[in-house]
Amino acid sequence: MSKTFEYDVIIVGAGPAGMTAGMYAGRSMLKTVIIERGGSGGELLNTEAIEDYPGFEHIEGWDLAQRFENHAKKFGAEFHQGVVLTVRRLEDATFEVETESGDVYHAPTVIITAGGTPIKLGVPGEAEYAGKGVSYCAICDGAFFKGHVIAVVGGGDAAAEESDFLTRYADKVYLIHRRDELRASKILQKRLFENPKIEVIWDTLVERVEADEHGFVNNLKLRNVKTGAESNLAATAMFVFIGFRPNTGIIEGHVDHDEMGYLLTDTNMETSIDGLFAAGDVRSQLTRQVTTAAGDGTTAAIAAEKYLASLRDSSVGRIVATGGYAV
């Protein structure tokens, strides 16, 4: 049976940005809910180990996710499981968030931290060995493969740039591309072709990811799209950069975004819709790391609290029993 909930702040997504926002919103005595389709953590749950979050020289992704969740709960943030279908702004300037189960949430502010989804190859072994050699983040996981042979899949700016970055660690990087020319910018191509540690494998698709007896990647099955010839590549890691899809389709109505669909915000993380904030991977920005996501979440929650205070000060809002504000 569907239910209706009333909150001061609704946070869509329980990744680092969402849980940080939930912690700060809770500290501000706002009635806060974080809605997540699965377990809390977002991309942290797809990362075996993290070594670039200050204060933790090495921590498992699931462990850091649990710490984020516990911290947010300590300050009162509630966690609800559900698939958000739509986020819409109503005529009274409040928001309505509807989930797949039929549950409806109302609040004067919403923080979108739904992140994005790396586009997958969809080949056998890719999902099975994610975090065990299959990765979608060079900065996150490159350091685990010092002295290894690494494969990068893609042909755009991200694939070219990350191939170059990965040569800091790998002895050899193979860039696998399905066409006979790259889509990357000329300056990135120049840098790539001049790097002696990078070799491009043209007109080729990855057909299968294979692993050793311990479940770690040790071979890629390849197929040339022009000749049909099959081959093996003895790589211990495969980094996939064929695109990244921000989860912004849940927002009803127009909201400003860049050419890739990432939400545009001001310095307070507020979007072009009043009262709608965005943080983390869903937002247009230079880097997408746990640290930047946490910073975004902090700013968004504090800005949301100030937005709610402005409603109160302008006599539009009213104080509710939770200590927060509702229109």
Question: What is the rounded CA–CA span in Å between residue 217 and residue 237?
Answer: 6
Mean of the pLDDT values across residues 65-72? 98
| Comma-separated ranges of CATH 3.50.50.60 domains in the chain | 4-118+244-326, 134-240
Question: At the topology level of CATH, where does 134-240 sit?
Answer: FAD/NAD(P)-binding domain (3.50.50)
What DSSP character marks residue 321? T
Q: pLDDT-derived band of residue 327, with 50, 70 and 90 as boundaries?
A: very low
- The more confidently predicted of residues 245 and 121 is 121
Question: Is residue 212 annotated as a catalytic residue, yes or no?
Answer: no
pLDDT of residue 193: 97
Please determine, for residue 320, whether its predicted confidence score (pLDDT) is greater than 70: no
- Assigned superfamily of 4-118+244-326: FAD/NAD(P)-binding domain (3.50.50.60)
Residue 94 burial class via C-beta count within 10 angstroms: exposed 0-12, middle 13-18, buried 19 and up: middle
pLDDT of residue 317: 44
Using the Cα atoms of residue 21, residue 22, residue 27 and residue 29 in order, give the sign of their dihedral: positive
Q: What is the mean pLDDT of the chain?
A: 93
pTM of the model: 0.75
Question: Is residue 63 annotated as a catalytic residue, yes or no?
Answer: no
Compute the C-alpha angle 210/213/219, nearest 5°.
Answer: 25
pLDDT in tens, 214-269: 999 999 999 999 999 999 999 999 999 998 889 999 999 999 999 889 999 999 99
pLDDT of residue 244: 83
pLDDT in tens, 142-193: 999 999 999 999 999 889 989 999 999 999 999 999 999 999 999 999 999 9
Question: Is residue 140 annotated as a catalytic residue, yes or no?
Answer: yes
Catalytic residue among 8, 92, 103, 141: 141
Question: What is the rounded CA–CA span in Å between residue 126 and residue 257?
Answer: 31
Q: What distance lies between CA 117 and its chain's CA centroid? A: 6
Q: Are 77 and 22 in contact (CB under 8 A)?
A: yes
Beta-carbon contacts of residue 101 (< 8 Å; ≥ 6 apart): 2, 82, 83
11-25, 48-62, 254-268: the lowest-pLDDT one:
48-62
Catalytic residue among 63, 103, 137, 157: 137
pLDDT of residue 43: 81
DSSP H or E stretch at residue 295: helix 290-313
